[in-house]
């Protein structure tokens, strides 16, 4: 009787999936998963078929930039209302519908391009698709957390992943099959129409209760940072301290010297009206920075306000530079000295690694081309500007000299930045401690390094191995989908039985070793049917069987790694800042992989060939394993954060 009642309760628990809100999350998960593969493996297949070089295909990794940058505008979408859509649909649904309209238009436009003759426009619309996709992800994650009660969050997470994976299958296997019989334009047009699944869902569901577009919701009007850092008297005679001196060095030396080097050595766009205006803007910014640096040295009362304003102005200029370079007919950019030094160091390391395996030397010019200097310069400047903007809030020496700014004295712009960006950053570092937080962020950035190396190279490899689009659609995308889902289930069991840190180590090892399975295909193809004593038909059957085996190994390990990693990221987030922190962590996750590893993968293959490419890829797991060992050795366990205000810093 007791057993029967227990089974009945288990059966009744499945009724949670009949909740209309959970069903809506399933549809939104589909809408979220559809676009990403259209600018990833599906697009790389199209590019390979159009005979675009592998190096150029690798550089298409830069269209993933919005997935990495999304933490920058997540606070904007979290707080700001849309004039008409917010009034009609509410804050969350209004933003969702806007991003979906953008997706429909950009995916359709992407399908109308021809990469063989107009690769630039293919890249532009792929980037726009990625931007609207990343923006939609921000809102869907926030909506899912807000619309479901606490006891249904697990079900919501399960169905959003299910919808996401189904959409990825549709956008890969479905798109490839349509392209096989009707062409790429028809495939992308069909995918654009499928965005309507999410749009219809948005119109049918309701807005979460308590959703507000206020700058400061009632429960966030207290000064949490002030409680931790705001005490103490101002001491104008106190030493500036190392953090402020580093800021002064950056403002008075690094940026001026970098601009001078760009002008003297010609690391800038072709001269013209727009480029001349851009030089003047950069000169004005450097001049403003000199003023701020001197204000800090003179201990002027308004120095910290000027420093925050400088950081935001410089960030706006850096973002504008990337956008103008990508979309303007005449490229506009200024190469940074520190970007050149960083890329030259990366070339030196990469060229040495290639020389060890007997590959062709890599050209320094390939690493210091304008696009590489632009991207490297953006990221290095971004880190510097985040550091500068955080000084007035986190540097005790800065607070001692210049005082603490109460909420009432903040400008509206800086108040919004403080609530939407600074506090989530502070909470993450305060909860974990600076050392642990830095190590965790490093681990997040390199954990999937060995796995993402194949992001844009897998489909070109399959094409080179002689498989048709239909075979790729079935084996890699359909059969592979189910293996990924199975791997995810195994990953959940591993986390439950072994704990997060052991599961992370196991996943990193398995994902790295799975890359060696690709050697089965490359070795068999290089040997050919004669060496194996097979007829042509029998050889192709063996190749197809090996293809299934490779996908089984690769996707099982990849699914396991993804499940473990999502569990780890979820454990790091505070419920007060879920949307911004999750966007921050998932963006940081892609930083190194999407902007260093994936773009260089094509050059890597060209230099060493497929065999050494797969062998060397296993070594990319070593940094993650070292960091996991170090975190475990230092005793930094991952626990779910308390649902209370962030603790004050020690």
Give per-residue pLDDT as tens, 427-482. 777 777 777 778 888 888 888 777 777 776 777 888 888 888 778 878 877 788 78
Range with top average pLDDT, 208-222, 252-266, 359-373, 436-450: 252-266
Question: In sequence order, which residues have a C-beta less than 8 Å from that of residue 465 and are 6 or more positions away?
Answer: 521, 522, 525, 543, 547
Residue 53 in 3-state DSSP? coil
Which has the higher per-residue pLDDT, 492 or 639? 492
Is domain 431-650 given the CATH code 3.30.930.10 in the classification? Answer: no
CA dihedral over 605, 611, 616, 617, signed as positive or negative? positive
Question: In sequence order, which residues have a C-beta less than 8 Å from that of residue 194 and are 6 or more positions away?
Answer: 34, 167, 170
Asked if 268 and 279 touch (Cβ cutoff 8 Å), the reply is yes
Phi, psi of 174 (to 5 degrees): -65, -45
Q: What is the pLDDT of residue 322?
A: 78
Tokens representing 165? 């994976």
Q: What is the pLDDT of residue 578?
A: 63
- Is a pLDDT exceeding 70 seen at residue 47? yes
- Is a pLDDT exceeding 70 seen at residue 15? no
Q: What is the pLDDT of residue 121?
A: 87
Q: What is the pLDDT of residue 1?
A: 46
Three-state SS string across 231-296, please?
CCCCCCCCCCHHHHHHHHHHHHHHHHHHHHHHHHHCCECCCCHHHHHHHHHHHHHHHHHHHHHHHH
Residue 592 pLDDT level (bands cut at 50, 70, 90): low
Nearest in space to 648 (alpha carbons), one of 75, 230, 217: 230
Nearest in space to 152 (alpha carbons), one of 11, 25, 5: 25
Q: For residue 216, with 0-12 CB atoms within 10 Å meaning exposed, 13-18 middle and 19 or more buried, which class applies?
A: middle
Q: What is the pLDDT of residue 148?
A: 67
246-260, 416-430, 437-451: which range is least confident on average?
A: 416-430
1.25.40.10, 3.90.550.10, 1.20.1250.20, 3.50.50.60: which CATH number matches 13-213?
Answer: 1.20.1250.20
Residue 81 in 3-state DSSP? coil
How far lies 550's CA from each of 360, 464, 472, 475, 545, in Å? 28, 16, 12, 10, 9
Q: What is the pLDDT of residue 188?
A: 92
Please name the residue that has the structure tokens 């290089």: 526
- Is a pLDDT exceeding 70 seen at residue 645? no
> Where in the chain are the domains?
13-213, 232-403, 431-650
Give per-residue pLDDT as tens, 505-563. 888 888 888 888 888 888 887 777 776 666 767 777 888 888 888 888 888 888 788 77
- Is a pLDDT exceeding 70 seen at residue 24? yes
d(CA 416, CA 81): 13
Range with top average pLDDT, 3-7, 221-225, 442-446: 442-446
Asked if 95 and 85 touch (Cβ cutoff 8 Å), the reply is yes
Which has the higher per-residue pLDDT, 391 or 355? 391
Average pLDDT over residues 96-122: 89
d(CA 310, CA 384): 12
Taking the CB of residue 344, how many other CB atoms lie within 10 A of it? 12
- The DSSP secondary-structure symbol of 646 reads P
404-408, 442-446, 510-514, 573-577: which range is least confident on average?
A: 573-577
- Strand-pairing partners, residue 268, are 334
Residue 221 in 3-state DSSP? coil
305-314, 455-464, 565-574: which range is least confident on average?
A: 565-574
- Is a pLDDT exceeding 80 seen at residue 262? yes
Please name the residue that has the structure tokens 């060890």: 356
- Strand-pairing partners, residue 523, are none
Give per-residue pLDDT as tens, 318-363. 888 877 776 666 777 788 899 899 888 888 887 787 777 666 777 8
Q: What is the pLDDT of residue 246?
A: 92
Three-state SS string across 142-193, please?
HHHHHHCCHHHHHHHHHHHHHHHHHHHHHHHHHHHHHHHHHCHHHHHHHHHH
Mean of per-residue pLDDT scores for the chain: 78
Which has the higher per-residue pLDDT, 406 or 648? 406
Give per-residue pLDDT as tens, 602-636. 777 777 777 788 887 888 888 888 888 888 887 77
Q: What is the pLDDT of residue 254?
A: 92
Alpha-carbon Rg for the chain, nearest whole angstrom, is 26
Q: What is the pLDDT of residue 25?
A: 80
Residue 327 in 3-state DSSP? helix
Taking the CB of residue 195, how many other CB atoms lie within 10 A of it? 26
Give per-residue pLDDT as tens, 56-76. 777 676 777 787 777 777 777
Q: Do domains 13-213 and 431-650 have the same CATH topology?
A: yes
If residue 415 lies in a helix (H) or strand (E), which one and from where to where?
helix 412-417
- Is a pLDDT exceeding 70 seen at residue 244? yes
Q: What is the pLDDT of residue 646?
A: 35
- Is a pLDDT exceeding 70 seen at residue 34? yes
Entry pTM: 0.65
Q: What number of H helices and E strands is found in the chain?
A: 34, 0
d(CA 304, CA 296): 8
If residue 589 lies in a helix (H) or strand (E), which one and from where to where?
helix 578-592
Tokens representing 465? 């191995």
28-37, 153-162, 211-220, 458-467: which range is least confident on average?
A: 211-220
């Amino acid at each position: 009787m007791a057993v029967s009642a227990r089974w009945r309760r288990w059966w009744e628990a499945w009724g949670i999936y009949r909740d209309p809100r959970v069903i809506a999350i399933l549809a939104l998960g589909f809408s979220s998963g559809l676009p990403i593969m259209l600018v990833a493996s599906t697009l790389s297949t199209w590019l390979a078929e159009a005979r675009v070089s592998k190096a150029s295909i690798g550089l298409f990794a830069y269209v993933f930039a919005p997935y990495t940058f999304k933490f920058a505008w997540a606070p904007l979408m979290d707080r700001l209302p849309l004039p008409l859509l917010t009034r009609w649909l509410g804050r969350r649904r209004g933003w969702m519908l806007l991003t979906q309209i953008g997706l429909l238009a950009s995916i359709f436009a992407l399908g109308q391009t021809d990469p063989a003759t107009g690769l630039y426009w293919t890249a532009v619309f792929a980037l726009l698709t990625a931007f609207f996709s990343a923006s939609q992800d921000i809102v869907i994650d926030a909506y899912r957390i807000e619309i479901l009660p606490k006891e249904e969050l697990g079900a919501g997470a399960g169905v959003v992943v299910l919808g996401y994976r189904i959409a990825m299958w549709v956008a890969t296997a479905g798109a490839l099959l349509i392209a096989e019989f009707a062409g790429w334009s028809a495939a992308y047009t069909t995918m654009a129409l499928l965005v309507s699944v999410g749009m219809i869902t948005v119109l049918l569901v309701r807005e979460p209760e308590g959703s507000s577009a206020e700058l400061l919701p009632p429960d966030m009007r207290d000064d949490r940072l002030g409680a931790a850092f705001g005490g103490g008297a101002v001491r104008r005679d106190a030493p500036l301290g190392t953090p402020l001196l580093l800021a002064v060095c950056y403002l008075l030396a690094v940026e001026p010297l970098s601009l001078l080097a760009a002008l003297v050595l010609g690391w800038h766009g072709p001269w013209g009206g727009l480029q001349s205006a851009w030089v003047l803007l950069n000169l004005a910014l450097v001049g403003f920075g000199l003023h701020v640096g001197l204000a800090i040295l003179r201990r002027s009362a308004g120095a910290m306000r000027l420093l925050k304003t400088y950081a935001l102005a410089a960030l706006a200029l850096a973002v504008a530079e990337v956008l103008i370079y990508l979309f303007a007919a005449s490229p506009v950019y200024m190469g940074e000295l520190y970007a050149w030094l960083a890329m030259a160091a990366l070339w030196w390391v990469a060229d040495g690694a290639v020389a060890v395996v007997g590959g062709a030397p890599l050209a320094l010019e390939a690493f210091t081309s304008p696009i590489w200097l632009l991207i490297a310069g953006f990221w290095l400047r971004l880190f510097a500007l985040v550091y500068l903007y955080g000084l007035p809030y986190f540097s005790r020496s800065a607070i001692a000299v210049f005082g603490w700014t109460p909420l009432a004295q903040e400008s509206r712009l800086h108040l919004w930045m403080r609530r939407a960006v600074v506090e989530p950053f502070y909470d993450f570092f305060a909860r974990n401690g600076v050392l642990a937080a830095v190590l965790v962020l490093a681990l997040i950035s390199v954990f999937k390094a060995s796995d993402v190396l194949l992001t844009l190279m897998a489909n070109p490899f399959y094409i080179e191995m002689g498989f048709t689009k239909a075979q790729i659609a079935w084996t890699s995308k359909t059969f592979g989908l189910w293996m990924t889902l199975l791997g995810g289930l195994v990953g959940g069991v591993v986390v439950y039985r072994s704990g997060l840190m052991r599961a992370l180590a196991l996943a990193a090892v398995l994902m790295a070793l799975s890359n060696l399975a690709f050697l089965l295909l490359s070795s068999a193809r290089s040997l050919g049917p004669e060496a194996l004593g097979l007829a042509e038909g029998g050889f192709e059957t063996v190749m197809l069987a090996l293809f299934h085996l490779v996908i089984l190994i690769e996707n099982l390990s990849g699914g396991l790694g993804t499940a473990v990693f999502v569990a780890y990221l979820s454990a790091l987030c505070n419920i007060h800042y879920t949307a911004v922190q999750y966007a921050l962590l998932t963006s940081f996750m892609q930083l190194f992989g999407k902007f260093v590893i994936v773009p260089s993968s094509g050059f890597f293959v060209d230099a060493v060939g497929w065999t050494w490419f797969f062998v060397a890829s296993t070594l990319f797991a070593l940094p993650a394993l070292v960091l996991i060992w170090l975190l475990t050795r230092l005793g930094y366990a991952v626990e779910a954060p308390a649902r209370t205000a962030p603790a004050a810093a020690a």
